[in-house]
Structure 1
């Protein structure tokens, strides 16, 4: 049967481990009636959230079971794509006799994970070497590598401290290789099921992608939720201070607006800075200041960088000509695109396309 996971938000201030266990026993008492098998539940007491992992025929069976047991259904239910996907994000783990999820260290598993993403482009044509090195460091810091269909590396960590330590070590590794390697990195903490949506770790993955797509080259973005999980203040070494940026919830609002706007307008050659400022509802000075602080780039530089990064994906896919890519990404001519590409990456677009052949 398919795997499902739900989220419950508890409003009772007295909610504790015992109350969670009793609620789970109520689920077990009626599960057979709805063809559901409860596997285990994850408990985050500080956030007053519970995540139940179940096998069932469909979402409705999961909701009906909870309604029967408690008179109230979950806030949201999602289908987990498969058990491999589940384990990649949440790890092997274990559970106690009452089905409470535990980490491999025997701690109560909150279900929350700190995710790290590395967007890495190697212009030497030796992508595999550095990809392997990064994945090796992820395993060294107790992280799980999550398979991706593109050039992004994504990993999941139980502890935020491991993710931060791994992230900074990877950054130092890549910093010491030739400048013909581009990378952006992001670290975000999130929950397996959001109050809305249908994707496993959907909000966290969306934030990771935005930060890696919009972040400045050789920059690490870390969200405030991850920083808050660290037991001591986040102290960056002198070598890290210039590359690490902390991202607040307010910053994410602007990031999301930028992300949606630039994705929509990326193919429009007439899209100008004034258009972006108007869509953001900011003056020219405000937009420049905020975008520069978030991304390390001016608005003009950000628009150009977004187009160039997208061109790398198209060139890797080898399904479009250089001219088609140029026009699709809003460049006025293939000649101008080639000139801008060469200035940014110190090689021709056709040369880059051959690197991944």
Structure 2
């Protein structure tokens, strides 16, 4: 009896074996494909996605639809993971890949029902894959990444089935310019350096490419300047505040002069930081760490603007856009570490605060500002542009 395994299942569980289990799994994966099948092609229909909170979203993007599904079947999850992999590695074609995979599974199930062993079916599919790759290689044409006509046609093709197809030529040109700005050894891996910002406007044709960066941050102190010309930018990781001790301490003060000496000593630490920035002509600070209200006020009096608690992905984008060098120790900060932008502007877009680094020299991080009258159009354009940027960069 001790060698007999004991399996404890939840109430309502059932055990399914062999062909019935295979059939259920295949049907679950085919059902996933059927969910997005109607969105494929120029005549594809959009789906309305409703969250548990009641928020509705309309889209015909296969990857977004699949990501929103609440799936429990393990096989169906594999199909969703396939879509995620295609989206990550290529950027487009998720719907077509899922539908194609589902049809292969349906064909395989028919063969299984005819008593063909799954190993033989798998072997046949491998032979078919090799043959398909051979045919594709034989008919493929070599193209240049500098052939803008081909790149534009590729971008337009990626938008043919999208809701923004009426603006496909304009958005294709915009996407190619953005990718060309950040291209390098691994252009596909640098697509994340293209920030997409949505803003209210009359039409998508008002959208534009900024040779710089939009950062979703507000200035540390409200009295800091809103616009900075010829910005010299320090990107740092340093808590700009009086350091607190690890242990509790008491200070005995017997006269008003003692209070003033204590405050002066506290302020001298911050004054040293100010002196470093003023000596180098720094007028914009991007800090990965915190900036106290007191120091923010001191910076404002000197005409220096700052943003604090900037996340890793954002400060790295600032480095690429402005050419700055990340510095931990302020005492080692030098002229060579500073970045440059013709203008740094703090502005409000819709309901959010942004800081714009514009006019950067040869930036490797840029921003696409999408403008439209409806939030749905902007959301669709954002999803579409992410796909198009990935496809163009992959070429």
What TM-score results when the alignment is normalised by the length of structure 2? 0.20
Q: Highest CA radius of gyration, 1 or 2?
A: 2
Q: TM-score, normalised by structure 1?
A: 0.22
Structure with the larger RCO, 1 or 2 (CA within 8 Å, 6+ apart): 2
